[in-house]
Chains A and B, each alone.
Chain A
C-alpha cells in the first residue's frame, strides 16, 4: 500500500507538488495551500492510503520537490 501524508498547515503554496503529481495534489483556491486529494485529516496531517502503486513515482517526486518537506510517501 502507498501511504502519502501532507502536513498541510506548513504549506507555503508553491505549487510544485501539483506540477509533479497533478493526480494526487491540487491547490486550494480558498487558502492557496496544497490539497492531497481523497485524503483524511487527523490533526492537520492529511493521509491518503492507496493500493494503486502507479502513483508512487509521481508522489515521491512531489515529496522531493516540496521546499518545506511536508510530504511523506511510504510503502507499507
Chain B
C-alpha cells in the first residue's frame, strides 16, 4: 500500500509550525486577498513567502499557495505578481480554480493543483485538466467507490500531468464540510453581499432556521433547526479504505483554526497513515484518535459522502462541540537555555501544578504539556497567580511572543 501525503492547513506561522512539528508532508496557505480565507485578520503577506519556504524546506515539506477564488479583470495583475513571487520563492505549487490562474502558473512553469471548486467528478474531466495540472482535488460529493474508479482509470490509461508523472488525486480528509457545492456558494453573498467565492463567507448556513409556508403560515416541525449546517468530516475511522481508493494526497481543512487544532489533527492523521503503512492500524487506536480529535474544534463528526450513506448529518449547534477549551493565562517572559526553563508572566486566572498547559507562538507552534512542578517568584509553590512570574521546566524553547494557556474541560451540550 502506497503511503499518502498528509496536507496541513497553515493560516499563520503558529499553525505552520504546528503542522511541521506534527508530521505534515505538505502545507497550504493563502497570501493577500485572493484566497478562500480573505476575511481572516491574519493572512500571510508576500514578504512571508521566503520564511515559509525556509521552514518547510528544512523539514522537506512541500508548499502550496492557494489562489482559488473567482478572479476579476482587476485581479489579473496581482495574480501575476503572486505567481511570479511564488516561483521566485520556490513555492512547490499553486492551487487554482480559475483558468487564468492555471494559464499564468503554467506560463512560468509552476506546478498546478486543481482546486475542489472546479468540481471534478469524472475521468474525462481528469484527462482534460491533466493538460495543465499534476494533482487534482475531486469533488466532495463523490463516494469512495467513485474515487477508486477514477484512480484505477488514471493508472490503466496512464493519464499523466505536465511533469510526466501519473495524475495524483487528492481528497478532503478532515474538517468543516458545508452545504456549498464543492466550495462554491452564494448564500452569504445574497444575505450579506459577502461572497464566499472571494473568500468572504459569513457562515450564515451555520445558524438556526425555521421553515414556514408563506401562504398558510404553517411552520414545519424540525428535529434540528440547524438545517444547513453539516457536521465536520472525519475519516480517521476508515482511513484504510481511503488509502485503498488509490488517492495520493489527504487534505486537512482548517486555515481559520487555532494552532493546537492543526497540531492535534495532523498528529492523529500522521499516526493513522503511518500505522496503515506499517500494517498495525486498529480499532483501539482509532478510538484514541477520535477522542483526541474531539478535544479540538468540531461540529460533531460524520463520514461525508465517501461511504455512500444517506446524505446530510446536521450539526446541533452553531459552535464547536470540542471537549476541551483553552483559557489565556499569560505570556512568555524569558527562557533559560542551559537549564531549559521557561519563565512566564501570569496575566489572568492562576496556574497550578497538575494543570495541562498549551504554549503557542509563531516559532514555537502549539505545544502541550503537564505542569509537574514550578517556581513562583523564585519559590517552589503549587500555585501561581495574576502578576506572578512562574518558571517551568520545558522540553522546548519559548519566546517572548508566546502565549500561555490552561487547557480545561469544555462542557458540551448534548
Binding site for B on A (CB under 8 A): 11-16, 27-33, 64-68
Q: Is the CB of B74 within 8 A of A67?
A: no
A30 to chain B: closest CB distance in Å?
6
Known: A12-B33, A12-B198, A12-B200. A68 touches B78 (CB 8 A): no
Q: Is the interface of A mostly helix, strand, loop or mixed?
A: loop
Give the contacting residue for A28; candidates B32, B39, B74, B198; CB below 8 A.
B74
Number of chain B residues close to chain A: CB under 8 A: 21
- With most chain A CB atoms within 10 A of its CB, the pick from B39, B75, B202 is B75
A46 vs B76: C-alpha distance when bound (angstroms): 24
A45 vs B302: C-alpha distance when bound (angstroms): 45
In B42-79, the 8 Å CB interface with A consists of: 72, 74-79
A23 to chain B: closest CB distance in Å?
17
B81 proximity list for chain A (CB < 8 A)? 31
B358 to chain A: closest CB distance in Å?
29
Known: A12-B33, A12-B38, A12-B200. A32 touches B193 (CB 8 A): no
Q: Is the CB of B34 within 8 A of A67?
A: no
Q: Is the CB of A13 within 8 A of B75?
A: yes
Q: Is the CB of B78 within 8 A of A31?
A: yes
A62 to chain B: closest CB distance in Å?
11
Known: A29-B77, A30-B77, A32-B78. A15 touches B72 (CB 8 A): yes
Q: A13-B33, A27-B74, A31-B77 are in contact. List 9 more A-B contacts (CB 8 A).
A: A13-B78, A14-B198, A15-B72, A30-B77, A32-B79, A67-B192, A67-B198, A67-B202, A68-B200
Can you list 24 A-B contacts with CB-CB less than 8 angstroms, sorted by A residue number? A12-B33, A12-B39, A12-B199, A12-B200, A13-B34, A13-B72, A14-B195, A15-B72, A27-B72, A29-B77, A30-B77, A31-B77, A31-B78, A31-B81, A32-B33, A32-B74, A32-B79, A67-B39, A67-B194, A67-B198, A67-B200, A67-B202, A68-B39, A68-B200
Q: Who on chain A is nearest to B77 by CB?
A: A29
A18 to chain B: closest CB distance in Å?
9
A27 proximity list for chain B (CB < 8 A)? 72, 74
A13 proximity list for chain B (CB < 8 A)? 33-34, 72, 74-75, 78, 198
Q: Is the CB of A33 within 8 A of B195?
A: no
Q: Who on chain B is nearest to A16 by CB?
A: B193
B115 to chain A: closest CB distance in Å?
18
Q: Is the CB of A32 within 8 A of B39?
A: no
A65 vs B193: C-alpha distance when bound (angstroms): 6
B390 to chain A: closest CB distance in Å?
37
B48 to chain A: closest CB distance in Å?
15
A31 vs B79: C-alpha distance when bound (angstroms): 9
Known: A13-B74, A65-B193. A32 touches B34 (CB 8 A): yes
Known: A12-B39, A13-B33, A67-B192. A29 touches B74 (CB 8 A): yes
A42 vs B278: C-alpha distance when bound (angstroms): 60
A14 proximity list for chain B (CB < 8 A)? 195, 198, 200
A39 to chain B: closest CB distance in Å?
18
A39 vs B77: C-alpha distance when bound (angstroms): 23
A16 vs B189: C-alpha distance when bound (angstroms): 11
Q: Who on chain B is nearest to A14 by CB?
A: B198
A70 to chain B: closest CB distance in Å?
11
A26 vs B199: C-alpha distance when bound (angstroms): 21
A67 proximity list for chain B (CB < 8 A)? 39, 192-195, 198, 200, 202
Q: Who on chain B is nearest to A64 by CB?
A: B193
The proximity string for B residues 244-286 relative to A, scoring 1 for CB distances below 8 Å and 0 otherwise, is: 0000000000000000000000000000000000000000000
The proximity string for B residues 140-159 relative to A, scoring 1 for CB distances below 8 Å and 0 otherwise, is: 00000000000000000000
The proximity string for B residues 313-326 relative to A, scoring 1 for CB distances below 8 Å and 0 otherwise, is: 00000000000000
